[in-house]
Amino acid sequence: MEAKEVTLKIDGKDVKATEGASILEVARKVGIEIPTLCYSSALEPFGSCRVCSVEITDARGRKKVVTSCNYPVKEGLEVSTKSEKVLKTRKLLLELLLARCPKVKKIQDLAREYGVEKPRFWIEDVEEDCILCGLCTRVCGERIGVYAINFANRGVEREVTAPYHSFSDDCIGCGACAIVCPTNSRRIQVNTYPTLPEDIENIEQKFLKGTKDENFGVYSDVFAAKSSVDGQDGGVATALLVSGMQRGLFDSAIVVQRTEGYNSEAVIAENVDNIMKAKGTKYLRVKMMSKLGELIDKGKKKIAVVGTACEVRAARKIQKILLKEFPDVEITIIGLFCFEAFDYEKLKKETKKLLGVDLDKAEKTQIHKGQYIVQIDGKEYACKVKELNDAIEKGCAYCDDFTAKLADISVGSVGSPDGYSTVIVRSDVGKRLLEKLDLAKEDANTEEVTKLSIFKKKRATKNFAPILQDMQIQTEPQTEQC
Ligand SMILES: Cc1cc2nc3c(=O)[nH]c(=O)nc-3n(C[C@H](O)[C@H](O)[C@H](O)COP(=O)(O)OP(=O)(O)OC[C@H]3O[C@@H](n4cnc5c(N)ncnc54)[C@H](O)[C@@H]3O)c2cc1C
Ligand code: SF4
Ligand code: SF4
Ligand code: FES
Q: Confirm if 279 and 233 have CB atoms less than 8 A apart.
A: no
Q: Quick one: DSSP state of residue 380?
A: E
Residue among 143, 149, 394 to mutate when testing ligand 2 (max atoms within 8 A of CB): 149
Work out the number of other CB atoms within 10 angstroms of the CB of residue 85.
14
**pLDDT score for 476:** 45
Which residues are CB-contacts of 319 (< 8 A; sequence separation ≥ 6)? 207, 329, 331, 333
Ligand nearest 286 Cα, by number? 1
Please enumerate, as own/partner, the contacts of 273-277 that have beta carbons within 8 Å and a separation of 24 or more: 275/238, 275/241, 275/242, 275/245, 276/229, 276/238, 276/242
Residues 152-202 have pLDDT tens digits of: 888 778 888 888 878 899 999 999 999 999 999 988 888 899 999 999 999
Average pLDDT along the chain: 93
**pLDDT score for 159:** 87
Centroid of ligand 3 to alpha carbon of 309 (angstroms): 6
**pLDDT score for 443:** 97
Which residue is closest in CA terms to ligand 3's atom 3?
Answer: 309
Average pLDDT over residues 59-82: 94
Alpha carbons 227 and 141: distance in angstroms, whole number: 41
Q: Confirm if 222 and 425 have CB atoms less than 8 A apart.
A: yes
Q: How confident is the model at residue 1 (pLDDT cuts 50, 70, 90)?
A: low
Centroid of ligand 3 to alpha carbon of 465 (angstroms): 19
Average pLDDT over residues 88-94: 96
Q: Confirm if 410 and 426 have CB atoms less than 8 A apart.
A: yes
Centroid of ligand 4 to alpha carbon of 34 (angstroms): 10
Left if phi > 0, otherwise alpha if psi is -120 to 50, otherwise beta: which for 53? beta
Ligand nearest 226 Cα, by number? 1
Ligand nearest 28 Cα, by number? 4
Centroid of ligand 3 to alpha carbon of 49 (angstroms): 33
Centroid of ligand 4 to alpha carbon of 31 (angstroms): 18
Residue among 140, 171, 286, 310 to mutate when testing ligand 3 (max atoms within 8 A of CB): 310
- Percentage of the residues of the chain whose pLDDT score is greater than 70: 97
Residues in the chain: 482
> Given the DSSP bridges, would you call strands 63-67 and 78-80 parallel, antiparallel or unpaired?
unpaired
Which residues are CB-contacts of 301 (< 8 A; sequence separation ≥ 6)? 326, 328, 329, 330
Q: Confirm if 242 and 250 have CB atoms less than 8 A apart.
A: no
Helix/strand number for the chain, H first, E second: 13, 20
Give the up-direction half-sphere exposure of residue 30: CA atoms within 13 A in the CB hemisphere.
16
> Given the DSSP bridges, would you call strands 78-80 and 5-10 parallel, antiparallel or unpaired?
parallel
149 CB within 6 A, ligand 2: yes
Ligand nearest 336 Cα, by number? 1
> Given the DSSP bridges, would you call strands 78-80 and 53-57 parallel, antiparallel or unpaired?
antiparallel
Alpha carbons 134 and 71: distance in angstroms, whole number: 18
Residues 189-241 have pLDDT tens digits of: 888 999 999 999 999 999 999 999 999 999 999 999 999 999 999 999 999 99
Q: Is 144 helix (H, G, I), strand (E, B) or coil?
A: coil
Alpha carbons 450 and 256: distance in angstroms, whole number: 27
Q: How confident is the model at residue 282 (pLDDT cuts 50, 70, 90)?
A: very high
217 CB within 6 A, ligand 1: no
Reduced 3-state DSSP string for 33-77: CCCCCCCCCCCCCCCCCCCCEEEEECCCCCEEEEECCCCECCCCC
Closest CA to 176 of 468, 469, 405, 380: 468
Instruction: Give the CA angle between residues 100, 106, 110 to the nearest 5°.
Output: 90
Ligand 3 site, CB within 6 A = 172, 285, 308-310, 338, 340-341, 393, 395-396, 399
Burial of 445 (0-12, 13-18, 19+ CB in 10 A): middle
Alpha carbons 240 and 335: distance in angstroms, whole number: 11
Q: Confirm if 123 and 99 have CB atoms less than 8 A apart.
A: yes
Give the chain's end-to-end CA distance (angstroms, integer): 57
Alpha carbons 256 and 268: distance in angstroms, whole number: 9
Ligand nearest 49 Cα, by number? 4
Residue among 215, 245, 281 to mutate when testing ligand 1 (max atoms within 8 A of CB): 281
**pLDDT score for 473:** 43
**pLDDT score for 22:** 97
**pLDDT score for 470:** 73
Please enumerate, as own/partner, the contacts of 365-373 that have beta carbons within 8 Å and a separation of 24 or more: 365/262, 365/281, 365/282, 365/283, 366/232, 366/281, 367/283, 367/339, 368/413
Closest CA to 53 of 22, 75, 30: 22
Residues 406-433 have pLDDT tens digits of: 999 999 999 999 999 999 999 999 999 9
**pLDDT score for 481:** 32
Residues 95-149 have pLDDT tens digits of: 999 999 999 999 999 999 999 988 777 777 778 899 999 999 999 999 999 999 9
**pLDDT score for 59:** 78
